[in-house]
Amino acid sequence: MRKEDQDQLEERDAALSDADISDAYLYLLGRLLVLQQEHVDTRSIGFRWNELVHREAGSVGWSRPNPDIACSDAWIAVDESSCTIIDVPPIVDRYYTVHVLNMWGETVANLNERNYPAHPWGRFALCLAGSQVELPPGTHRIDMQGKKARVFAHLEIGEDLQVAAALQQRFMMHATGSPVIDEAVDMFVFTNETLPGVECLETAIAVLESDPDVNPNMGVIQEKVRALAVAAGDPTQRAHIDAVIRHDALPMLRQRAARLGAGVNGWCTYRAGGTYGYDWLMRTVVNLSAMWTNTSNEVLRSESNTPLDGSRTPAA
């Protein structure tokens, strides 16, 4: 490294306040929580990329149970030469959505008749933005900024479980080619109950570079993360950084998580979910409390597919 660059890094590190340390750590943690899940699913559980797993309709024997919804899920990998095809069967008078999220836990798309009225079902392709991939005729292309994604296909069970289960099996997925799949960045192993301290900063820069945060104006907070990662390598600063994380940042995060669910339209749910703009702290809170949360437009709907409104509840 040039002396001029080193001098700039030292000046930037020295300028980090305790508030900067908390902000940088909590921003990074939002991505680490998703990365941790990628490690668990692909290394420990054995998920295969671009293969849809159909969960037993009505089952509660997995990590995201909902007895009213049949769910299938997958981890997606694309590159410059391969897209992932998702086939959605014709569905009428039954709630469904194919929920696509990026590697920061944010919604990329919901494939359904509400968002794609001209193409409510049929063939969709998740592709890396800018890639030149020949797709089958009639395919609706969805561009992603990153090379990986998480997908959940949700289908209302309704009155007949067998009919729903048969329809669920008609959701299909395959890659158009053989994408080169980057290994998940090595990271300090943790759980949601035992969140990491300063040790997670050892691979922080590689984590930032592993998948883009496409929300606007994230450059400043990402620079704070980079500066914090460099500072954490200095033994004279490391103990202080860890103390700020454990005594300031983590208690604040737990408090924010406890205050979630104040309600939307009179219904108890997350005030924000699925998309966050610059509110990276809310994204981290939701990733900790309920990762893969969808947008309120999708999770708060009535049988007639209109947004729920608690103010219309009949008086007792």
Domains in the chain: how many in total? 2
Is 95 found in the same domain as 123? Answer: yes
Is 279 found in the same domain as 235? Answer: yes
pLDDT, mean of residues 166-189 = 95
Is 188 found in the same domain as 144? Answer: no
Q: Which domain holds residue 289?
A: 3-41+184-299
Is 168 found in the same domain as 231? Answer: no
Is 295 found in the same domain as 191? Answer: yes
pLDDT, mean of residues 111-138 = 97
Is 64 found in the same domain as 33? Answer: no
Report which DSSP code applies to 110: E
Higher pLDDT, 4 or 63: 63
Instruction: Collect all residues with Cβ–Cβ distance below 8 Å to 293 and sequence separation of at least 6.
Output: 105, 270, 273, 274, 286, 299
Asked whether residue 315 carries a pLDDT value surpassing 60, the answer given is: no
Token pair, residue 69, equals 């919804």
**CA separation for the pair 57, 66 (Å, rounded):** 9
pLDDT of 129? 97
Least confident of 88-92, 107-111, 185-189, 248-252: 185-189
Is 103 found in the same domain as 165? Answer: yes
Instruction: Collect all residues with Cβ–Cβ distance below 8 Å to 155 and sequence separation of at least 6.
Output: 57, 69, 70, 71, 91, 94, 95, 96, 164, 167, 168, 171
**What end-to-end distance do the CA atoms of the chain give, in Å?**
71
pTM as predicted: 0.87
Residue 164: Cβ within 10 Å count: 21
In a domain, 308, yes or no: no
DSSP string, 81-106: TB-EEEEE----SS-EEEEEE-TTS-
Q: In whole numbers, what is the pLDDT of the chain averaged over residues?
A: 87
Is 58 found in the same domain as 171? Answer: yes
Give the model confidence (pLDDT) of 38-56 as tens digits: 999 998 888 999 999 999 8
Least confident of 62-71, 132-141, 176-185, 200-209: 62-71
Is 195 found in the same domain as 164? Answer: no
In a domain, 46, yes or no: no
In a domain, 48, yes or no: no
Is 203 found in the same domain as 159? Answer: no
User: Which run of H or of E encompasses 238?
Assistant: helix 235-244
- Distance from CA of residue 50 to its chain's centroid? 16
Of 117, 144, 175, at which residue does a domain stop? 175
pLDDT band of residue 12 (cuts 50, 70, 90) is very low
**CA separation for the pair 258, 43 (Å, rounded):** 31
pLDDT band of residue 308 (cuts 50, 70, 90) is very low
Give the model confidence (pLDDT) of 58-115 as tens digits: 765 555 667 789 999 999 999 999 999 999 999 999 999 999 999 999 999 999 999 9
Q: Which residues of 30-40 are buried (b: 16+ CB within 10 A; e: fewer)?
A: bbbbbbbbbbe
pLDDT band of residue 266 (cuts 50, 70, 90) is very low
In a domain, 311, yes or no: no
Looking up residue 95, the CATH number of its domain turns out to be: 2.60.40.1610
Of 119, 141, 175, at which residue does a domain stop? 175
In a domain, 168, yes or no: yes
In a domain, 147, yes or no: yes
pLDDT, mean of residues 123-128 = 98
Is 266 found in the same domain as 158? Answer: no
In a domain, 307, yes or no: no
Percentage of the chain modeled with pLDDT above 90: 73
Asked whether residue 30 carries a pLDDT value surpassing 50, the answer given is: yes
Backbone angles phi, psi at 154, to 5 degrees: -110, 135
pLDDT band of residue 270 (cuts 50, 70, 90) is low
pLDDT of 64? 61
Higher pLDDT, 72 or 305: 72
In a domain, 260, yes or no: yes
pLDDT of 206? 97
Is 27 found in the same domain as 87? Answer: no
Of 175, 201, 219, at which residue does a domain stop? 175
Higher pLDDT, 69 or 170: 170
3-class SS at 42?
A: helix
- Distance from CA of residue 287 to its chain's centroid? 7
- Between helix 18-39 and helix 235-244 the angle, nearest 10°, is 80
